[in-house]
Amino acid sequence: MITYKAHIIDTPTPQAFRIIENGYVTVSDEGRVVYAGSQLPATAGELVDFGDRLLIPAFNDLHLHAPQYRNNGLAMDLELLPWLERYTFPEEMKFADTDYARRIYTRFVHELWMQGTMRSAVFATIHPEATCVLADLFRKAGLGAYVGLVAMDRNAPNGLCNTAKEAFAAVSVLDDELGRDGIVRAIVTPRFIPSCSEEMLTTLGRLAKERNLPVQSHLSENRHEIDWVHELEPDATCYGDAYNRYGLFGQTPTLMAHCCYTNDEEMRLMRENGVCIVHCPTSNSNLASGMAPVRRFLDNGIRVALGTDVSGGHYMSMLRVIQYAVQTSKMHFAQSRGSIPFLSLSEAFYLATKSGGSFFGRVGSFEPGYDFDALVIDDSYLNFDRYTLPERIGRFIYIGDDRDIRVRFCQGRELPEPPLVV
Ligand code: GUN
Ligand code: FE
């Protein structure tokens, strides 16, 4: 048992920040929150005083591509489909070389740690060895992750295609290797419908069902992509239905990134099947994809998380994604002449913490029973003139960065800085 004292800030509900000035969080030996409040509990164990610092839940990035890390901040002059062909597929092909993969993935995992992202749902590539290296780096760093061996067998260069059989075998091996006890696990990852034949989708649906594995993919991101899916899957009632037919749409816990053009039919399917949408506003802006109607998703009772979508998104900071989510929703507000309410800062923070965290269990809040995934924030550089605590969390989200993060906890463990070089 251990108790931390600081200004505690989290979002048990999206409507408002819960702010406990000079509060306490008590954490069990298993790394779970047993108490958060303003009184020092009778059984508190050792007391660690963080003074005037903020203690907030760590971030959860529910959609990003580890092998695109080198392309961050590059290649933003094309829309999705030519962008994949011209910049992304050539970079991902390099991960056939496991030494190259280890070098890039080492930096990638370091950056997740640096940005305070303790849990993530990650696309790797089709390469089993490189993907094992990535999973291993996560385990060594103590970070939680769903690691996706990507499946694709059409409309890509030969070097980036695997067969349904290979994908089935490789994901099974990764799942056996990682098991279900730790915080690094396998996830079934069809890249998107244009990359996956009927045989591939059938096989992955069977794999997800047989092993009860979660699923992640892309959905309704770009207009040209959607037209193409209608040509490829003419019988599907909507893009989402093309996954649903194969048992890849909520039959097991499912993440679908983007959803810029999700229509009523697709929304109905997502609600009925409990599919979680991953909103990636920086990527949707960089690739000129569009603006996802997040308010409509929330009003329809659909779970929404946030993702950086590196390298469609240019930067791995979830702070910037929270900020962009609010700003994008304000463009929607303006476009709708004020009829679509924009996201509040606490709502966007909730999406990046408790909502995304729910994909990993009880993660993303300081309520009792939640894993203690937390960041200690020293905002003294920003707090030069007696700002209030609501002002301080707002300023940290908008203009703070990783330099203000002093301590990182995942499941109660303080995580040391992982290596930057192999
Ligand atoms: N759709 C299929 N592959 C990708 C990818 O790598 N990034 C994004 N943003 N969308 C995709
Ligand atoms: Fe993506």
CA–CA–CA angle 259, 194, 200 (5° rounding): 110
Domain assignment present for residue 36? The answer is yes
Of the residues 340, 360, 380, the one at which a domain ends = 360
Residue type, 191: R
Amino acid (one-letter) located at 47: L
Q: How far apart are CA 259 and CA 54, in angstroms?
A: 34
Q: Do both 265 and 379 map to the same domain?
A: no
- Confirm whether 385 is domain-assigned: yes
**In this structure, is residue 420 part of a structural domain?**
no
Amino acid letter for position 356: G
Q: How far is the CA of 380 from the centre of ligand 2 (A)?
A: 35
Structure confidence at residue 262 (pLDDT): 98
In a domain, 421, yes or no: no
- The CATH number of residue 375's host domain is 2.30.40.10
Q: Tell me, what amino acid is at 181?
A: D
**Nearest atom within ligand 1 for CA of residue 312:** 9
Regarding whether 140 and 23 lie in a shared domain, the answer is no
In a domain, 126, yes or no: yes
297 and 272 in a common domain: yes
Domains: count for the chain: 2
Contact 143, 112 (CB under 8 A): yes
> Per-residue DSSP letters for 3-60?
EEEEEEEE-SSTTS-EEEEEEEEEE-TTSBEEEEESS--SS--EEEEEEEEEEEEPEE
Report the relative pairing of strands 405-410 and 413-414 from DSSP bridges.
antiparallel
Same domain, 106 and 243: yes
- In this structure, the answer to whether residues 49 and 69 fall within a common structural domain is no
What pLDDT was estimated at residue 331?
A: 97
- Together in a domain, 38 and 68: no
SS3 284: helix
| Residue 115 vs residues 10, 247, 365, 404: alpha-carbon distances, Å | 18, 34, 18, 10
- What is the distance in A from the centroid of ligand 1 to the CA of 7? 39
Question: What's the pLDDT score for residue 232?
Answer: 97
Mean pLDDT, contiguous 10-residue spans, the chain (422 residues): 98 98 98 98 97 99 98 96 98 98 98 99 98 98 98 97 98 98 98 98 98 98 98 97 98 98 98 98 98 98 98 98 98 98 98 98 98 98 97 98 98 98 92
Residue given tokens 């594995």 in the structure block: 213
For 61-104, how does the pLDDT look when each residue is reduced to its tens digit (9 = 90+)? 999 999 999 999 999 999 999 999 999 999 999 999 999 999 99
pLDDT in tens, 127-140: 999 999 999 999 99
The residue length of the chain stands at 422
**Domain presence at residue 419:** no
Q: Nearest residue CA, atom 3 of ligand 1?
A: 191
Question: Using N-to-C axis directions, what is the helix angle for 164-178 and 128-141, rounded to 10°?
Answer: 20
338: domain CATH number is 3.20.20.140
Q: Note down the domain range covering 248.
A: 59-360
Distance CA 130, CA 220 (A): 29
Of 333, 360, 387, which residue is a domain's last?
Answer: 360
**Do 139 and 288 lie in a common domain?**
yes
CB 191 less than 6 A from any atom of ligand 1: yes
Asked if 193 and 131 sit in the same domain, the reply is: yes
Residues 326 and 399 in one domain: no
Q: How far apart are CA 15 and CA 17, in angstroms?
A: 7
Same domain, 158 and 274: yes
422 within some domain: no
What is the reported pLDDT for 284? 98
CA distance 334 to 327: 11
Question: Given this model, what pLDDT does residue 58 score?
Answer: 99
DSSP label at 341?
P
Rounded distance between C-alpha atoms, residue 27 and residue 45, angstroms: 9
The percent of the chain in helix, strand and coil, each rounded to the nearest 5, is: 40, 25, 35
28, amino acid identity? S
Q: Which atom of ligand 1 is nearest to the CA of 287?
A: 9
Q: Does the C-beta of 153 come closer than 6 Å to ligand 1?
A: no
CA distance 118 to 359: 13
- Are residue 354 and residue 372 in the same domain, yes or no? no
Diameter of the chain by CA atoms? 65
User: What was the pLDDT predicted at 2?
Assistant: 98
* pLDDT digits 0-9 by tens, 248-270: 999 999 999 999 999 999 999 99
Q: 122 in a domain, yes or no?
A: yes
Are residue 29 and residue 145 in the same domain, yes or no? Answer: no
Decide: 63 in ligand 1 pocket, CB within 6 A. no
Is 312 a pocket residue for ligand 1 (Cβ < 6 Å)? yes
80 lines ligand 1 (CB under 6 A): yes
